[in-house]
């Protein structure tokens, strides 16, 4: 099975408001999904036919709602209960634009964290691929991600987080990190306006401990730095909802890894899942026929 870790899950509430603007009142229907990055990864992995177990913290009535929703989706969950309520995250989708409002999340006590670490050690015994995603809840430092990576050092740990949580976790030697261009720019505090600068910048994260790097470049595809360096070119698509595309691309990568595919195929899966999510209204959702079509149009070139 593949283990997904979401320490700061959320109920993702989506509003589709085509003429959204500030300073106005809108009446809109809400769509809810179990969210936080790792739960989007879980849902896409499940749609790709993988067995997944989702872990992290859940609390209060929002926590119960997420647990029940995962059960309805046939996704195994094994969360630690927190005394503090799980958050809501809001996404407002306009025409080709999105506004996100992300709550900070539950406060996790030292006791709850210790309980989780013991639980995680047990879950590691049964899972080879570990996807750790998202922000950290209050009460948990970046050191925690470093520890989770270290504990999983004999496994393949995919870590998708940003800022200081990412920097601190690099010493734990995650198998893969997946920053986007903006996140890399924020970390390095330098303009990254050429492919050469992007590769050089990403390589500094490898020097800090990441084993492999998938640098996403939005509509310009991605650069992968592993044993070799690859540029991935993607076809133009009509974006409907980009929320969860990064998470879907993590799921695509983990799926390829799980099935021992060659790296070129893994990268194609990763991109196709991200794009399929962006082409759908739903967050953390993919369509298998769409993926099949997209895979034919993605070009993976070895550039170094
Ligand atoms: O990637 C989109 C999304 O996963 C939403 O589902 C929302 O829950 C949010 O990001 C959470 O991100 P965070 O970085 O705060 O954990």
Angle formed by the axes of helices 143-151 and 110-124, to 10°?
A: 20
Each residue of 74-124: pLDDT tens digit? 999 999 999 999 999 999 998 778 899 999 999 999 999 999 999 999 999
DSSP string covering the chain, please? -EEEEESS-EEEEEEE-TT--TT------EEEEEESHHHHHHHHHHHTT--EEEEEEE-HHHHHHHHHHHHHTT-EE-PEE-SSPPEEEEEEE-SS-EEEEE----B--HHHHHHHHHHHHHHHTT-SEEEEESPPPBT--THHHHHHHHHTTTSEEEEE--HHHHHHHGGG--SEE--BHHHHHHHHTS---SHHHHHHHHHHHHHTT-SEEEEE-GGG-EEEESSSEEEEE------S--TTHHHHHHHHHHHHHHTT--HHHHHHHHHHHHHHHHTSSSTT---HHHHHHHHHH-EEEE--
Strand order across the beta sheet in which 98-102 lies: 30-35, 10-16, 87-93, 98-102
Residue 86's nearest CA partner among 124, 39, 16 is 39
Give pLDDT, residue 95: 78
Mean pLDDT of the chain: 96
Does ligand 1 have an atom closer than 6 angstroms to the CB of 174? no
Does ligand 1 have an atom closer than 6 angstroms to the CB of 8? yes
Q: To the nearest whole percent, how much of the chain has pLDDT over 70?
A: 100
> Distance between CA atoms of 101 and 189, rounded to whole angstroms?
25
Q: Is residue 140 within 8 Å of residue 166, measured between CB atoms? A: no
The alpha carbon of 135 and the centre of ligand 1 are apart by a number of angstroms equal to 8
Kindly list the catalytic residues: 247
Asked if residue 235 has pLDDT above 90, the reply is yes
Give pLDDT, residue 136: 96
Name the token pair of 96: 């080709």
Mutate to test the pocket of ligand 1, among 43, 134, 186, 245 (most ligand atoms within 8 A of CB): 134
Give pLDDT, residue 52: 97
Q: Which phi-psi region, left, alpha or beta, contains residue 36 (left: φ > 0; alpha: ψ -120 to 50)?
A: left
Does ligand 1 have an atom closer than 6 angstroms to the CB of 183? no
| CA nearest ligand 1 atom 15, residue | 135
Q: Measured from the CA of 33, which atom of ligand 1 is nearest? A: 6
The alpha carbon of 38 and the centre of ligand 1 are apart by a number of angstroms equal to 8
Residue 300's nearest CA partner among 266, 253, 254, 261 is 266
The alpha carbon of 36 and the centre of ligand 1 are apart by a number of angstroms equal to 4
Catalogue all structural domains in the chain, each as residue range(s) with its CATH number.
36-85+107-302 (3.40.1190.20)
Q: Is residue 113 within 8 Å of residue 90, measured between CB atoms? A: no
Q: Is residue 275 within 8 Å of residue 237, measured between CB atoms? A: yes
The alpha carbon of 228 and the centre of ligand 1 are apart by a number of angstroms equal to 30
Give pLDDT, residue 94: 86
Each residue of 245-281: pLDDT tens digit? 999 999 999 999 999 999 999 999 999 999 999 999 8
Give pLDDT, residue 142: 86
> Distance between CA atoms of 215 and 180, rounded to whole angstroms?
5
> Distance between CA atoms of 290 and 293, rounded to whole angstroms?
5
Q: Measured from the CA of 283, which atom of ligand 1 is nearest? A: 6
The alpha carbon of 35 and the centre of ligand 1 are apart by a number of angstroms equal to 7
Does ligand 1 have an atom closer than 6 angstroms to the CB of 242? no
Q: ipTM value, please give it.
A: 0.97
Asked if residue 140 has pLDDT above 90, the reply is yes
Give pLDDT, residue 21: 85
Each residue of 194-206: pLDDT tens digit? 999 999 999 999 9
Does ligand 1 have an atom closer than 6 angstroms to the CB of 90? no
| CA 256 to chain CA centroid, nearest Å | 15
Query: Which stretch of 19-33, 143-157, 246-260 has the lowest confidence by average pLDDT?
Result: 19-33
Beta strands at 10-16 and 87-93: parallel, antiparallel or unpaired: parallel
């Amino acid at each position: 099975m593949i283990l997904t870790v979401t320490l700061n899950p959320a109920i993702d509430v989506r509003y589709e408001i085509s003429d959204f603007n500030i300073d106005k009142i809108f009446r809109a229907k809400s769509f809810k999904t179990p969210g936080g990055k790792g739960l989007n990864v879980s849902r896409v992995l499940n749609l790709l036919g993988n067995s997944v177990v989702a872990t992290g913290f859940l609390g209060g009535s929002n926590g119960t709602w997420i647990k029940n929703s995962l059960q309805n989706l046939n996704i195994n969950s094994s969360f630690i209960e927190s005394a503090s309520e799980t958050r809501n995250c809001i996404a407002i989708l306009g025409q080709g634009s999105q506004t996100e409002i992300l709550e900070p999340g539950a406060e996790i006590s030292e006791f709850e964290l210790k309980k989780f670490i013991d639980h995680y050690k047990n879950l590691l015994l049964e899972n080879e691929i570990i996807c750790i995603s998202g922000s950290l809840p209050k009460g948990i430092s970046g050191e925690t991600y470093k520890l989770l990576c270290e504990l999983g050092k004999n496994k393949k740990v995919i870590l998708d987080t940003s800022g200081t949580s990412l920097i601190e976790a690099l010493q734990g030697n995650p198998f893969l990190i997946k920053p986007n261009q903006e996140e890399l720019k924020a970390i390095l505090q330098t303009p990254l306006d050429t492919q050469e600068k992007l590769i050089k910048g990403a390589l500094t994260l490898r020097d800090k401990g990441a084993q492999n790097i998938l640098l996403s470049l939005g509509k310009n595809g991605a650069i992968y730095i592993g044993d070799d360096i690859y540029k991935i070119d993607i076809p133009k698509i009509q974006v409907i909802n980009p929320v969860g595309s990064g998470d879907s691309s993590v799921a695509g990568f983990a799926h390829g890894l799980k099935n021992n595919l060659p790296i070129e195929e893994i990268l194609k899966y990763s991109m196709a899942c991200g794009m399929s999510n962006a082409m759908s209204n739903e967050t953390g959702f993919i369509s298998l026929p769409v993926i099949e079509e997209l895979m034919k149009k993605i070009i993976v070139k070895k550039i170094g």
